[in-house]
Structure formats: structure tokens, C-alpha cells
Amino acid sequence: MAEPSSLLSVDRPLVVGKARIESTIESDTAWTRLIYVYLACSTLWLLVGTLVGAYLSIKFTAPDVDHIHWLSFGRLRPVHTNTVFWGWTSLAMIALVLYVVPKTSQRRLYSFPLAWTSLILINLAVIIGDLCLMGGINNGGQEYREYIWPVMALFAAGVVLTAYNLIRTIAARGVEEIYISNWYIMGGFLWTSVLVTIAYLPFYQQNGISETVIQGYYMHNAVGMWFTPIVLGLIYYFLPKLLNKPIYSYSLGVLAFWTQMVFYTLIGGHHFVFSPTPWSLQTLAIIFSVGMLVTLAAGTGNFLLTMKGSSRTIARSYSLPFILAGVIGYFLWSAQGTLEALRSLNLVWHFTNYTVAHSHLTMYGFVVFLIWGCIYGLMPRMTGREPSHLLAGVHFWFALLGYLIYTIALMVGGTLQGVSWILNAPFIESVHLMEPFWLWRAVGGTMMFLSHLIFAYNLWRMRPSHREREVPAPQAEALA
Amino acid sequence: MSFHKNHWLLFSVIFFGYIALSWIAGIGPAIWVQNHTHPLPGAEPMSPLQRHGLHVYIAEGCVACHTQQVRPLQMDAVWGRPSAPGDYAYVKPLDVWHPYAPAVLGSERTGPDLTSIGARQPSEVWQYIHLYNPRAVSPESIMPAHPWLFEVVATPAADAVVVPLPPAYAPPSGTVVATADAKALVAYLLSLKQVPLGAAGGDGK
């Protein structure tokens, strides 16, 4: 019998080889360039936003690391959240949308100048908004509403222009049916246009408690009616495309869409459970938070059943593992949100670091993982250039382990915080007991940041080639 | 007519349906609450100085770590009586750049609730030292120091608010005095105390 070692080939690779993509370069170079520049800007914001986040995490264990006003915790915290929201995640998502909508509509994007204008507007909003926050100009709206209205108006203009651009593209589509991706994507754009307008109109926010009612509605919808529907829409395109098979059920996608719109819009009040906002509003929010399990099961089930039987393809791909992790994250971390809304559990977790863990689990473990999966799935097919397969794997594991270390530490610590308050321990004990968990959070956060550097390098590896001859863009009429 | 084929139908339902839902979950309740919120009997309106202090409170991002809401829970009793909507009736818009009442209820308690900080720590001197460097009075605190709310001067003016810092936290030379922002912030913090329900002979309704 042969020795086991002799069964191993001498040049056994370190990791499982990943499949190369078939080389089909997108001939519309203007389109490739537009999407790549969107992604490059977004990735720059990812690095800035998460560097700020990593720096903030240090301040929990070393509060005197600096005494500079524009670097203080209170001013930088909204810089971190707004940069990763509006700079990184939003721009990356829009980049992918600018591919999926024309592709599924079989028509060239309605207007390139409009798309470039949106990019400039949103970048300006993040630059000016961050500088304002560091300078102490804060809207005072709390989560995701810290940019003052003139700044947020720039962002809103970018969203509205993009929405118009997409509607015109879809309206002139070359197929009869509106593909399900475009339901979700247009939902995200139309809902967010309304949402930002409502959140920034002052008439019904003239005292503390009415402002809080709007804040609950806004902060929740800013996540779930912008990022959630759009990334889900992207997955309805990229998952079948990358697996080369149809989506499991179109109807489940439609069911999840309408329940998302009706249930999710009503649940913002659960951010202020036990607060002096109307308890009827809180109860409504809790009921529909449980209702969201329907949406979650329909969406996740649909994706998982599509992936069923394709585990080999997923294992051989460097993009699909991100999508698999993101889909599982979508179910787990959104369901966690439902649990947090229940009064009995809210009692323990509200106001603690558990909430911080939850927001990172959903935004990162769900939304951002899906975005990365889509980027790795799309860019090589547009530019013909692949990322380093090994580094894509390193990116995946650093990001995954990093965010799990980060969030498990804060979930354990947050629960202990809540318990210490229930036991009526002196408040400072809840600060003291968090020390080791804040340290672990900084460790996980640093791993996440390192993975972003690797991603940025990989994005550069996938850049469009300049040697390519400019191919004249096909005329819109020819495709319509 | 089909959602799958008629984009105007689909997008109109998405758009107007969402506006209707937003009325139910956002605008409607906000209007109702705004019209039914009145200052509690015995509550004092904010002075211009306190309002300036609230502005500093928002600019420095204090709300990131401090709540101002006492829940009707046993675990919150340490912070005071349960908050009522009327407690926030005098939280009003700051200026044209902030045309909404700033959010003070907060969402996280990395630091203690401040609903009654004016009653719990009524000492101005303590507040100034604490803002200059929290660890000078509370060694285990992780709150950021806010030295930029103060000035170091060689000889303080006669009417200056001098901050008597412990030597370990004082600058090597000069005297630390409060700026207008620090004075306003402290005035705001000291104004944070609950009006007892039924103060004006009411029955708490």
C-alpha cells in the first residue's frame, strides 16, 4: 500500500484553484470606464471610511490618543458612518446598477453625462459633508442624518438624477418584461428619493419628540429601502448569471418585493422601543418586524434554492463565495433585527454595543459582501482582467473573520452591558467590563481594514486596459 | 395592465404607495405628536445661552454616546422618572441650517444618560474640569477630552471662568479658562433636570 504522502502531488497548490473567466471583454469602453470610475471612487471612500472606523475603535481603549478637535470621537463617528454609507456602499451599488439596468433592459444607458454628474454630486456631498462634520457642523439628526440639508441635497440630486436616467433606460427597454432586478433597483431609488425628502423637510419636526418619530422612520428606511432592495436586485441578476442557470422562482422574488415595501416601511419605530414616542407606533413596528421574516424567508430561500446543486461552481469561483456569505448574512442578521425589536430582548440589548454589532452585521456581512461578490463577478468580464485569485481569497477570509471577531465581541460585551444595567450595577462597570471586547473589536476592525486594502489592490488589477482601441459605442437605436 | 410589462404602472405604485406608507409610519405620527406635545407645567423655556449650549452639544456629537430618555423600566429608574413627550417640548430648531429640533433622545449609552445631569452633577466647576479632561475627575471614563472648548492664557481677565485643574492634567504653564462655547455647554448641561410630574398641582395627565 502506498504511503499517504506519495498520493500528494509534489506541486500541490496552497489553495484550491479558482476557475478563470471566459474572456469576453465589453466592447463599450465608455460604459466600462464609467463603471470603473464609480467603483474606484467608492473604494477610495471605503478606505477612508474604514480607516476612520479603525481609528475610532482605538479611542475606546486609548481615549487620549489625540486631543485634536476635528479628530474627536463625537465628530469622527458620523464621518465613519456617513462615508461608508453614502461614499462607499452607495457609489459601489450605483456602479453595479449602471451595468445591470441597461443589460437587463437590452438598451444602452440613457445618458452618460447624467451618470457622470451624479457621480460628481455624490462625491461632493461626501467630501463637503465630512469636512462639515469634522468642523463641528452637524445637522443634529443622529444616525445617517448628520449632513446638513444643503449637503444632503447634493446627494439627493445624485440619487434623483440616477433614478431618472434608469427610468428612461427601462422605459426604452428592448424586452417586453421588466426584469425583477429592476423592480428592486427602481424601488430603492424611488423610495430613497421620497425618504430623503421627508427626512429633511422641517414642518413636522419642530419639537424633540416629533423629530424622533421621523428619525426612527428615516434611519431604518435609509438602510432597508436603499441598500437592501438594490443589492437584492443586483443578486437577482448576478446569481443566475454567475451560476449560468435561471433564478429558482420569479414569484418568490415578487412576493419578497411587495412585502419588503409594505412591512419594512412601517418598522422604523422599533428603534425607539420604550421611548416616549407613541407606543402604538412602537407596537406597529414590532408586529411588522416579525412580518419581515416572510420577506427574509422568501428572498433567502429563493437564492439558496437557486444555488442548490451548484456547490462545485461556488467553490471554484472567487466571486460566488462572497455572494453565498452575503445571502446567509442577509437571513441571519436581518432575523437578528426582528429579535432585537421584541420588547423582552430590546430591554437587554437597547443602548448597548449589541446594536453596533447588529449594524455592522447587516451593512457589512450582508450588503457589502454581496457588493464584493458582484464586483468580482462583473469587472473581469468587462475588462478582461482578473484579480489575483489568491488575494481574492485572502480578502474574503480577512473580511469574514474580521467582521465575525468584531461583532461576536460586541454581541457578548453588549449583552453583558445590558445585564449589568438590569442588575443596577454602577454605570462605570458597564464601561469597565467592555474593555476586553473593545480590544477584540479593534482587532477585528483592523482585519477588516486590511482586507479592504487587498480589495483595492484587486480592483486596480481589474482596471480597464488603456491599450484597447476605442470602439465607437453602439447607437442606442441599434439596440432598442 | 401588468406590473411586469407596464413600467409606469409599476413605478407609480412603488412611488405613491411608499408615500402613503410613509404617512402612516412617519409624517402622520410626527404631526400628531407635534400638535399634542406641550411643555410640562413648571418647565422653563431654554435661554439663548442654553440653546447655544445645545448647539455645541450637537456639534461635538455628544448624542453618539449619551441618551436623554428614561424608559419606564426598573433598570432606568436610576436616571429619573420615565420621560414624557412634554419633556422635549422646548427642544426646538436651532437655525436655518438646522431647521429641525435636534435629536437628543440618543440611541446608545456608552456614557450615562444625561436626562438629569444638571441635578446629578450640579457643580459648574466639576462640569468644566470634566469637559477639559474627564479622567481628571473620573479616572475610568473613556469620554473624549475637549480642550478646544478652553483657552490657555497667561493672566486670566477679571471676569474669566478659570478652570481649577489638578496639576497632573493642567498645561505646563498658563491658566485654563472656559470659552463661550464651554460656558454655553455647561449652562445647557446644568439645565438638564426633570420637572416633577404634577408640579403645578396637575394629576400627571
| pLDDT for residue A475 | 45
Which candidate in B12, B16, B24, B33 is best for mutational testing of the A interface (most A CBs within 10 A)? B33
Do A144 and A268 meet the contact criterion of CB atoms below 8 Å apart? no
Q: How far apart are CA A104 and CA A174, in angstroms?
A: 9
pLDDT in tens, B60-93: 999 999 999 999 999 999 999 999 999 999 999 9
The residue to which cell 430613497 is assigned = A192
| pLDDT for residue A7 | 54
Residues in CB range of A332: below 8 A, 6 or more apart: A361, A365
B95 DSSP β-pair partners = B98
Residues in CB range of A181: below 8 A, 6 or more apart: A100, A101, A104, A233, A234, A236, A237
Question: A66: part of which helix (H) or strand (E)?
Answer: none
Residue in chain B lying closest to A136 (CA)? B59
- B204: confidence class by pLDDT, cuts 50, 70, 90: very low
Other residues' Cβ atoms within 10 Å of the Cβ of residue A300: 21
What's the average model confidence in pLDDT over B128-147? Answer: 97
**Tens-of-pLDDT digits for all 480 residues of chain A?**
455 555 555 566 677 788 887 766 778 899 999 999 999 999 999 999 999 999 999 999 999 999 999 999 999 999 999 999 999 999 999 999 999 999 999 999 999 999 999 999 999 999 999 999 999 999 998 899 999 999 999 999 999 999 999 999 999 999 999 999 999 999 999 999 999 999 999 999 999 899 999 999 999 999 999 999 999 999 999 999 999 999 999 999 999 999 999 999 999 999 999 999 999 999 999 999 999 999 999 999 999 999 999 999 999 999 999 999 999 999 999 999 999 999 999 999 999 999 999 999 999 999 999 999 999 999 999 999 999 999 999 999 999 999 999 999 999 999 999 999 999 999 999 999 999 999 999 999 999 999 999 999 999 999 998 755 444 444 444 443
Question: B178: part of which helix (H) or strand (E)?
Answer: strand B175-178
- B198: confidence class by pLDDT, cuts 50, 70, 90: low
| pLDDT for residue B111 | 97
Do B91 and A207 meet the contact criterion of CB atoms below 8 Å apart? yes
Q: Are strands B175-178 and B150-153 parallel, antiparallel or unpaired?
A: antiparallel
Do A126 and A89 meet the contact criterion of CB atoms below 8 Å apart? no
| Alpha helical stretches, state H, A201-249 | 208-222, 228-243
Residue in chain A lying closest to B70 (CA)? A275
Which residue, A237, A205, A476, is CA-closest to B99? A205
B176 DSSP β-pair partners = B152
Q: Does the ipTM exceed 0.90?
A: yes
Q: How far is B132 from chain A (nearest CA, A)?
A: 10
CB contact under 8 A, B11 and A269: no
Residues of B within 8 A of A69 (CB-CB) are 146, 148
pTM higher than 0.90, yes or no?
Answer: yes
- The CA-based angle A393-A397-A400, given to 5 degrees, is 135
Do A46 and A458 meet the contact criterion of CB atoms below 8 Å apart? no
| pLDDT for residue B112 | 98
Residues of B within 8 A of A347 (CB-CB) are 73, 75
Query: How does DSSP classify residue B95?
Result: B
Which residue, A42, A65, A41, A43, is CA-closest to A442? A65
Confirm or reject contact between B125 and chain A (CB < 8 A). no
pLDDT-above-90 percentage for chain B: 94
Q: How far apart are CA A375 and CA B152, in angstroms?
A: 52
- φ, ψ for residue B177 (rounded to 5)? -125, 150
Do A348 and A338 meet the contact criterion of CB atoms below 8 Å apart? no
Q: How far apart are CA A428 and CA A419, in angstroms?
A: 13
- B197: confidence class by pLDDT, cuts 50, 70, 90: confident
